[in-house]
């Protein structure tokens, strides 16, 4: 029984800070609670009506569209970029090991500090990127516009995550037995064919892992948006977590924030359930 006491603090913690807040979200979403006032009434489905049939619907569609667009590109960058870099950096030498570390490092740097320097690099007037574009005869890019603001955030994301994708693929590639390659060489496969028909299929569990983890991580994007664009201009980068944050702490509409959070939570859970089903059926794990 003393063994049970060992896990008790952790279990109590998760009950208080994970499971209870989820129940609390349901409760808050059925009220008209405003953060400024101490009292509230139960109003039934009013917040969900606002969200799905009222003026909240356009904002919901807008923020989901932007969040999915951001997520799509972060996944593409992590998987395609990571795989390309893994092929490029896959060489055993001191120099390459040092280069790999450098490419991997941005993941551990505070996003806020990184965002600040990227905003300066991408500055429309004094940024070095636009200067270089000017030198080679291209038009400057204004990143503070509705069309380009999300691209600016994605440039920072690319810098942060591409080395992560590379490292994950490289450590998976190390696990592939060299015998496969030797056998393929004997059969006359060139290096592209070996990559296409041996490396790629054997990396499919890794690709799934990256897909799932990147999806969940990028759906939660907040910090780079907060620092670089504050959701703007005109809501062009208002991702779902940023919208929830604004509802709760700028508009003080905690009730609406709770309703939107529940939608967000259902999406995350649905995705997790779907990938679990898919994994059971389709992914081939070596041994």
Q: Report 64-93 residues binding another protein (CB under 8 A).
A: 85, 88-89, 91
- Does 36 bind another protein (CB under 8 A)? Our answer is no
Give the side-chain half-sphere CA count within 13 A for 77: 22
Residues in CB range of 4: below 8 A, 6 or more apart: none
Alpha carbons 134 and 141: distance in angstroms, whole number? 10
Q: Which phi-psi region, left, alpha or beta, contains residue 127 (left: φ > 0; alpha: ψ -120 to 50)? A: beta
Q: Which of 45, 53, 76, 112 binds another protein (CB under 8 A)?
A: 112
131 binds another protein (CB under 8 A): yes
Q: Of 262-281, which residues contact another protein (CB under 8 A)?
A: 264-265, 268-269, 272
Closest distance of CB 193 from another protein, Å: 16
11 binds another protein (CB under 8 A): yes
Q: Give 83's contacts (C-beta < 8 A, 6+ positions apart).
A: 165, 169, 203, 207
Q: What are phi and psi of 12, to 5 degrees?
A: -60, -40
Choose which of 66, 86, 150, 258 interacts with another protein (CB under 8 A).
Answer: 258
- Give whole-number Cα distances, 125 to 129, 140, 143, 236, in Å: 10, 9, 11, 21
Quick note: the x/- pattern for another protein over 209-248, rule CB under 8 A, is x------x---x-xx--xx-------------x--x---x
- Residues that contact another protein, how many (by CB under 8 A): 80
Closest CA to 228 of 129, 121, 112: 112
Structure-block tokens of residue 123:
């500055």
254 binds another protein (CB under 8 A): yes
CB of 133 to another protein, least distance (A): 12
Select the residue interacting with another protein from 42, 138, 146, 175 (CB under 8 A): 175
Min dist. Cβ of residue 20 to another protein (A): 7
């Amino acid at each position: 029984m003393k063994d049970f006491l060992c896990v008790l603090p952790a279990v109590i913690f998760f009950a208080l800070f994970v499971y209870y807040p989820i129940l609390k979200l349901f409760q808050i979403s059925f009220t008209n609670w405003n953060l400024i006032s101490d009292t509230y009434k139960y109003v039934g489905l009013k917040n969900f009506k606002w969200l799905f049939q009222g003026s909240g619907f356009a904002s919901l569609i807008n923020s989901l569209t932007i969040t999915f667009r951001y997520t799509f590109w972060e996944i593409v960058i992590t998987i395609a970029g990571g795989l390309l870099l893994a092929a490029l950096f896959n060489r055993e030498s001191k120099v390459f090991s040092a280069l790999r570390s450098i490419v991997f490092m941005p993941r551990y740097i505070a996003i806020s500090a990184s965002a600040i320097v990227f905003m300066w690099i991408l500055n429309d007037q004094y940024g070095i990127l636009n200067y270089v574009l000017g030198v080679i005869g291209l038009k400057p890019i204004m990143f503070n516009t509705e069309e380009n603001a999300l691209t600016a955030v994605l440039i920072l994301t690319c810098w942060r995550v591409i080395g992560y994708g590379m490292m994950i693929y490289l450590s998976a590639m190390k696990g592939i037995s060299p015998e496969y390659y030797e056998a393929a060489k004997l059969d006359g496969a060139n290096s592209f064919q070996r990559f296409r028909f041996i490396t790629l299929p054997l990396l499919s569990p890794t690709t799934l892992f990256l897909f799932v983890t990147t999806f969940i991580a990028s759906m939660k994007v907040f910090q780079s948006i907060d620092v670089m664009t504050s959701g703007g201009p005109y809501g062009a980068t208002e991702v779902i977590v940023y919208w929830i944050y604004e509802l709760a702490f700028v508009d003080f509409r905690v009730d609406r924030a709770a309703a939107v959070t529940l939608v967000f939570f259902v999406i995350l859970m649905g995705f997790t359930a779907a990938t679990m089903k898919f994994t059971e059926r389709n992914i081939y794990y070596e041994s």
